[in-house]
Amino acid sequence: MQKFQETLQKILPVNGEVMEQTQERLDDLTKPLGSLGVMECIAKKIAGITNVVKPGLPKKTCILMAGDHGVVAEGVSAYPSEVTPQMVMNFISGGAAMNVLSRHVGAELLIVDMGVGSDLPDMPLLIKKKVAYGTNNMCSGPAMSREQAVEAIENGIEVAEEVILKGAGLIGIGEMGIGNTTPSTAIISLYSGKKVEEVVGRGTGVDDERLNIKINAIKRAVEINKPDIADPIDVLSKVGGYEIAGLTGGIIACGTHRVPVVIDGFISGAAAVIAVALKTEVKDYLIASHLSEEPGHRAMLDYLGLKPMLHMNMRLGEGTGAALAMDIIDASLKILNEMATFSEAGVSEKVEEE
Amino acid sequence: MQKFQETLQKILPVNGEVMEQTQERLDDLTKPLGSLGVMECIAKKIAGITNVVKPGLPKKTCILMAGDHGVVAEGVSAYPSEVTPQMVMNFISGGAAMNVLSRHVGAELLIVDMGVGSDLPDMPLLIKKKVAYGTNNMCSGPAMSREQAVEAIENGIEVAEEVILKGAGLIGIGEMGIGNTTPSTAIISLYSGKKVEEVVGRGTGVDDERLNIKINAIKRAVEINKPDIADPIDVLSKVGGYEIAGLTGGIIACGTHRVPVVIDGFISGAAAVIAVALKTEVKDYLIASHLSEEPGHRAMLDYLGLKPMLHMNMRLGEGTGAALAMDIIDASLKILNEMATFSEAGVSEKVEEE
C-alpha cells in the first residue's frame, strides 16, 4: 500500500462526546444559547478534532504551496508564468499580502515549491519539494502522471507532518501558481456535476476573450483526459496541479494527526475536494474561511459541507482568507476559555417558557 | 441651536481625492487589481475619513452603552430586565463575551450606563450618563420625552468626544439592554417601510408565543405614538431607547471628528439608522461588521448602504461583531502599509490585453 493510502486509513471520526461536553460549557456562559453562532461551532469543532473539551490557543502555521501550469500556454491567465517564481521570491522577502496577514495573526508562514516552472535558489525559508517544472498542458494530455500526483501528495503529507511535529495546532493552507484557477475549475465542475460555465471565473482578472479561452481549455482537457471522479487520484493527475496535490496531502496529514485545517479560497478548496473525495471523514477537520469572488467557490464549499465566515470579495489566494480566519478561530477558543458562566457572574438565566 | 445639532452640522464629506491616491497605492501592490476586495475598500474608506493616504494603525476603543426598556413589561423578552444591570457588572469584572473579544483585538472597552433601570455602584470602569431608569413602556405612550432623547444623544457625543480626545482612532459600538431588539425593530420597520413581521426576530431567543407578543407590542407602539420618520428625534423618543440614543450621539461625534466607527449588530444598527436619517453624510464614516441572525439587520444595512464582512450567525450584541471586525480593519491597514509594490518586488505586471 502506498504511504498516502496508509495515512488516509488513519483518519478517524472526530470525538462527538467531547463536542457535547464543549457545547455544555458554551451553553453555561453568560450569553443567550447559541448567540455566538459560528464562533461556538468553531470552538466545538476544534474540541472534537483535538479530543480536548477546552482546547487552548494553538500554534498557528500557514503552508503556501507553489506550482506552475502547462495550460497557461493556452492563454488562460492575465499574468505570465514567470510571475509564479517572482511571487515566491516576494513571499521569501516578506512583501506579499500573505506575509502581511500571517504576521498579523501571529502565524508562521512556510513556502513550498511543489512544481514551480523554474529553478529557485536555495534559501532557508523555502522548502523544496518540486515534483516537476510545472504540469503538462492538460489540453493535450494528463497534467502529470499518476505517480507524480502521488509523489506530490506524499510530499505535502511530509511538509505538514514536519510542521505538526514542531507543534503546529492549527494549519492554514494557501497557494500561488499562475493559471491554477483553471485546473481547480475543472475539478469542481467534475465533482459538483455543474457545467464549466457555471463554475468558471476570471481568476486574476481576465477579460471576456480570455474567459472563453479558459472555458474551452477546461472542456477540452476533460474531454481528452476523461477523468474518473470515482478515482480522485485520476482526476488530480489529469486535470490538477502540483500545488493542489501537495495541499491535498497537507489536508490528509491534518486529518491523521487531529489538527484542524483552515482552507482558503478556490484552489485550496479544490485540494480539499480531492481530499474529501478520497476520504469523507476529512470534512470534519476542515474549517472554511472566506467566500471567494470566484463563482465556483460556493459549489466547492457546498460539496465540502462548509459555510464561509468571511464575505470579503477576495480572490487573491496565497492563504490570505485562511490567515484572516485564524484570528477569529483564536477568538472563538478564547470565548470558550475566558468567558464567565451564569453562576460565576451572578446573572439570571432565561425565564422558563411554558 | 442644540449642541447635537451644532455637532451634526460639522460633519463634512470624506476626502475623495485622498481616497483616489490610496487606491493608486493599492493598485501598485503585488496582487491582481482589486483582489483583496473589502480589505481594499476599508483601507480606502479610512483614508478618506482621516484625510491620510497611508493611515497608520489606529488606537481602538469600544463603547458599550446599556439601557433598560419599559416595553419588557409586555413580555417581549426571554430574560428579565434585572439581567441588564447584572450584565453591566459582568462587563465591569471582565467575564462577558465582549470583554474577551475586545481584549483579543487590543481595544479598550468602555461601559456606559445610559439608562439602566436600577442604580449601579460607583466603579472606575463605569461611565455614568444615566438619563432615566429605563424607558417608559412605548405601548402606552412615548418611550421618553424629546428632551430626554436629546440629552441621551448629547451624553453619547460627550462620551465619544472624550475617547477621541484620548486618542481613539477607531471606535466600535455595542450595547446591552434586555428588550432592546423591540425598539430597534420598530425603528427599522419605520425607515425601511417594511412590515414589522418582515423585520422582527427572536432577539435573545423567544418562542413563537413571545414573538407574537413582540410583533403586537411594536405595532401598538407605532399606532399609539405615530412617530414621524421625517423627524428622527421624534422616532427615537417615541420608540427608541437610551442606549440607542447614546450610540446615535457617539456615531455623530465620530463623523464630526473624522473617526471611523464600526457598527455591531441590530441595535447599534438602529442607532446608525437614526444618525443617518439626521445627516446622510454619516454613512461615509460607518464600517459594517457582521450580519446578525436578527432578520431585520439586512434591511438595516441596506438602508445604511453597507455590506457586512462577517457572516457568523451571531445575535449577541455587546459590540462582539464590531470587535471581531476591528482585527480585519487593522489587517487592511497593514496591507496598505506593509505590502511590496510590483517594482519593489520585481514582479511582472498583468499582460496587456488587446
CA torsion sign for B36, B41, B42, B46 is positive
Q: Which of A311, A315, A326, A333 to mutate to test the interface with B (most CBs of B within 10 A)?
A: A311
Q: Which residues of B are catalytic?
A: 318
Say if residues A284 and A49 touch (Cβ distance below 8 Å): yes
- Tell me what pLDDT residue B354 has: 40
Query: Nearest Cβ partner of A37 from B93, B209, B314?
Result: B314
Same domain, A66 and A49: no
Same domain for A29 and A162, yes or no, is no
Same-domain status, B194 and B64: yes
Please list the alpha-helical segments (H only) found in A284-346.
297-304, 320-338, 342-345
Residues of A in contact with B353 (CB under 8 A): 78, 206-207, 209-210
Say if residue B110 is in the same domain as residue B245.
yes
Q: Which amino acid is at B156?
A: G
Same domain, yes or no: B271 and B247: yes
Q: Is residue A353 part of a domain?
A: no
Is residue B183 a part of any domain in this protein? yes
Beta-sheet strand order (sheet of B286-288):
B126-128, B108-115, B59-67, B168-176, B261-263, B286-288
Residue B173: name the closest of B163, B183, B182 by CA: B163
Which pLDDT score is estimated for B352? 55
Give the pLDDT mean for B267-271. Answer: 98
CATH number, domain containing residue A25 = 1.10.1610.10
Whether B30 and B82 share a structural domain: no
Interface contact B346-A86, CB threshold 8 A: yes
Task: Give percent above pLDDT 90 in chain A.
Answer: 96
For residue A350, being part of any structural domain is answered with: no
Nearest residue in chain A measured CA to CA from B308: A311
The reply to whether residue A309 touches residue B308, judged by beta carbons under 8 angstroms, is: no
Q: What residue of B is the nearest CA neighbor of A91?
A: B345
Residues of chain B positioned with their CB less than 8 A from the CB of A38: 311-314
The H or E element containing residue A147 is: helix A146-165
* Domain assignment present for B353: no
Does a structural domain hold residue B352?
no
Q: Write out the residue range of the structural domain in which residue B103 sits.
A: 59-331
From the number of C-beta atoms within 10 Å of its C-beta (0-12, 13-18, 19+), residue A224 rates as middle
**Residue B193 φ then ψ, to 5°:** 75, 10
Q: What is the per-residue pLDDT for B3? A: 85
- Mean pLDDT computed over B84-100: 97
Domain count, chain A: 2
pLDDT of the residue at B178:
97
What's B131's domain CATH number? 3.40.50.10210
Disruptive mutation site among B92, B176, B338 for chain A (greatest number of A CBs within 10 Å): B338
- Rounded to whole angstroms, the Cα distance separating A152 from A146 reads 10
pLDDT tens sequence across A262-300 = 999 999 999 999 999 999 999 999 999 999 999 999 999
- Same-domain check for residues A120 and A43: no
Q: Does the beta-carbon distance from B348 to A207 stay under 8 Å?
A: no
Q: Tell me the per-residue pLDDT of A61-120, one tens digit each, with 9 for 90 and over.
A: 999 999 999 999 999 999 999 999 999 999 999 999 999 999 999 999 999 999 999 999
Q: Mention every residue, 6+ apart, whose C-beta is less than 8 A from residue B354.
A: none
Same domain, B31 and B121: no
How near does any CA of chain A get to the CA of B260, in Å? 19
Is the residue at A351 inside a domain?
no
**Domain presence at residue B354:** no
Q: What is the SS3 assignment for A287? A: strand
pLDDT beyond 70 at B35: yes
Q: Which of A198, A318, A338, A354 is catalytic?
A: A318
Is residue B72 located within the same domain as residue B143? yes
Residue with cell 438602529: B270
Q: Which residues on A lie below 8 Å from B38 (Cβ)?
A: 311-314
Contacts of B266 in chain A (CB under 8 A): none
The verdict on a CB contact (< 8 Å) between A315 and B101 is no
DSSP state of A283: G
Q: What is the pLDDT of residues B177-189, one digit of tens each?
A: 999 999 999 999 9
A–B CB contacts, 8 A cutoff, strictly below: 213
B37 with A293: Cβ contact below 8 A: yes
Q: State the DSSP H helix or E strand holding residue B284, giving kind and residue range, or none if neither.
A: none
* pTM for the predicted model, two decimal places: 0.97
| Judgement on whether residues A45 and A157 belong to the same structural domain of the protein | no
Which 3 state secondary structure label does DSSP give B114? Answer: strand
Same domain for A325 and A235: yes
Percent of chain B exceeding pLDDT 70 equals: 99
pLDDT at A233 over 80: yes
CA torsion angle A109 A115 A116 A119 (round to 10): 100
Please check whether residue A75 is in contact with residue A183, taking contact to mean a CB–CB distance below 8 angstroms: no
Residue B350 lies inside a defined structural domain of this protein = no
Q: Using one digit for the tens of pLDDT, what is the confidence trace for A103-115?
A: 999 999 999 999 9
Nearest CB to B347; choose among A83, A210, A324: A83
Residues A198 and A75 in one domain: yes
Answer whether A331 sits within 8 Å of B308, measured CB to CB.
no
ipTM given for this complex: 0.96
Banded model confidence at residue B204, pLDDT cuts 50, 70, 90: confident
Instruction: State whether A100 and B334 contact (CB < 8 Å).
Output: yes
**Number of helices and strands in chain A (H, E):** 15, 6
Taking only the tens place, the pLDDT of each residue in A188-222 is 999 999 999 999 999 988 999 999 999 999 999 99
Check pLDDT > 90 for residue A51.
Answer: yes
Q: Which residue in chain A is spatially nearest to B349 when comparing CA positions?
A: A79
Nearest to B314 among A36, A87, A206 (CB): A36
Distance from CA of B3 to the nearest CA of A (A): 37
Q: How far is B313 from chain A (nearest CA, A)?
A: 5
Judge residue B113's burial from the number of C-beta atoms within 10 Å of its C-beta, 0-12 exposed, 13-18 middle, 19 or more buried.
buried
CA distance B208 to chain A (A): 11
Handedness of CA A196, A201, A205, A207 (dihedral sign): positive
The answer to whether A311 contacts B311, with C-beta atoms less than 8 Å apart, is yes
For residues B294 and A196, what is the distance between their CA atoms, to the nearest angstrom?
36
Q: Which residues of A touch B320 (CB under 8 A)?
A: 36
